Amino acid sequence: MRALFLRILVLCGLLAVAASAWAGQSVTVVGRAEIAGGNVDAARNNALAAAFREAVEKGIGVWVQSQTEVKDSALVRDQILTHSQGYVTDHEVIKEKVEGSTLSLTVKAEVAVDKIGADIRSMVGRLSTQMGNPSITFVLTTWEKRGLKGSASSTDTTDVSVRSTAKMKYDTAEEDDASENGKAAVAGKGNYQEGPDGISLSGSAEASASEHAARRAKGRHEATADSDTGVKVAKARSYFEINEELYKKIPDMTIITSFQREFLDKNFNVMAADKARSIAVAESLAQTSVNPNDRQAVREMAAKQGANFVARGEVTILGIGVSEATGNQEVKTKIDVEIIDVNSDDVVGSYTNTTKASSSEVGEARTQAIMKNAVQAARKLASQTVDVWQKRALNGRLYTVEVRKIKSQRGQQRPIVLALKDIAQIVSQTNPDPGVLLVKLNYKGNKEDLENALLDSLGNKPGFSASEFDGPVYENGSMVFTFK
């Protein structure tokens, strides 16, 4: 008996040491639950579970704030919260209260913050290994309204976090002879840093313009303009098409530099950097290797480079004015960029914003306005794209498989569908045309893994040899197979 008692003491000691190995954080939280059918005990259990989840949520926040190298805890947050009870090492119910049909518990809980951190690191590491780093290329340009001597344009940007109002005077101009277009070249450089008051910018730029001399001032008017530093994000939208009769392309690297910096910070592999630069600094679309207006051409270019995503869009210089408050030159720009999944053609992130910057020199104000918009856009879109990539690591990426020239539902279509069910999660299955099968599916892996898994599954079945079943080829984001 004495020996048994000693073994129990040793076991309890080991458990205590194991529990104390994880540094804890004491938090006070409230959990609530509905009292269904008068069952108070069940409501109490549900309220306690809700309190644990809230406590672990706070524990995640405490750990994240202490980290600098692990940025992607949001990726596995739901998994951690699903197992909240495992991270609460001790708790005390301080108060229980019933209001109407709701029971609430105030709980003081001890949360194993270090254990949360260790599990986050482990999960993020496994997912990073599984998916690898995402890759991206850029088709980003800068434009200015033709004949722009000073004009104002309104904005419909919403969800604004900071708004300031300034009263400015703008000059507007009109070309007497529309047959001669102005030419401009802008070169500049700048720096930005983030401080307690947001993004601060510094830099310089030189601007030169040769425009048709026969211009006459149409007038001078006062306008009240809002400087918007918030963002408006939409999942899908129509894309602004550049008309070179109305806009002139400005050779400028500011938008490319800003996007490359932010996406590299998020561990993206940046593809075709030289091509992206050549597109940005070209003096017209005719000198670029791909037309930004041609969505399909942009996707095909990105696919050839092996990119998972492509950023397509532009900064447009809308107006140049003089602030009555400061007397400085003020430049208004708009940015419009979307991130396209090269494989699925989904728009996984988009950003539209209008902002201004001022300086004693118009060239410097121009550079600062472009950079301010570009930095905000790149930061927002890089985070959105990482979130999409990581969620697909958990749930699988969306792929489209198309099979053509099917002659037998039983001997050809059915084996393909069964093979896909074995290796992926089918989202939809249709026959849009006679002899055509279209399957959308979620698969945890890259497209090469998917095609190999499908061919391996079908390889030994009659009618699916290389001489009978061809593919895949990729068309419009679909993985296409064809019966011969």
| 1-5, 121-125, 471-475, range with the lowest pLDDT | 1-5
DSSP state of 232: B
Q: What are phi and psi of 162, to 5 degrees?
A: -135, 130
Strands 135-145 and 309-323: parallel
pLDDT, one tens digit per residue, over 414-467 is 999 999 999 888 989 999 999 999 999 888 777 888 888 999 988 888 899 988
* pLDDT category of residue 285 using cuts at 50, 70 and 90: confident
SS3 266: coil
Model pLDDT, residue 446? 76
pLDDT, one tens digit per residue, over 133-156 is 789 999 999 999 887 654 333 333
> Once rounded to an integer, what is the mean pLDDT over residues 326-355?
90
32 pLDDT more than 90: yes
pLDDT, one tens digit per residue, over 317-337 is 998 888 888 889 999 999 999
Model pLDDT, residue 130? 53
Model pLDDT, residue 449? 85
34 contact partners, CB below 8 Å, separation of at least 6: 43, 46, 101, 102, 103
Domain ranges of the chain: 19-131, 135-391, 397-483
d(CA 304, CA 319): 38
Q: Which CATH number fits domain 397-483: 3.90.550, 3.30.1360, 1.20.58, 3.10.20?
A: 3.30.1360
| 13-22, 23-32, 197-206, range with the lowest pLDDT | 197-206
Model pLDDT, residue 23? 60
How many percent of the chain have pLDDT more than 90? 33
DSSP state of 40: H
Of 254 and 123, more confident? 254
Tokens linked to 24: 């804890």
Q: Does residue 331 contact residue 205 with C-beta atoms inside 8 Å?
A: no
212 pLDDT more than 50: no
Return the CATH number of the domain spanning residue range 19-131: 3.30.1660.40
Identify the CA nearest to 158 among candidates 229, 244, 262, 58: 229
Q: Does residue 71 contact residue 124 with C-beta atoms inside 8 Å?
A: no
Q: Which residues in 112-136 are b (16+ Cβ under 10 Å) and which e?
A: bbbbbbebbbebbeebeeebeebbb
How many percent of the chain have pLDDT more than 70? 70
Identify the CA nearest to 149 among candidates 206, 228, 204, 218: 218
User: Residue 93 to residues 111, 189, 395: CA-CA distances in angstroms?
Assistant: 15, 59, 37
The top-scoring range by mean pLDDT among 73-77, 219-223, 282-286 is 282-286
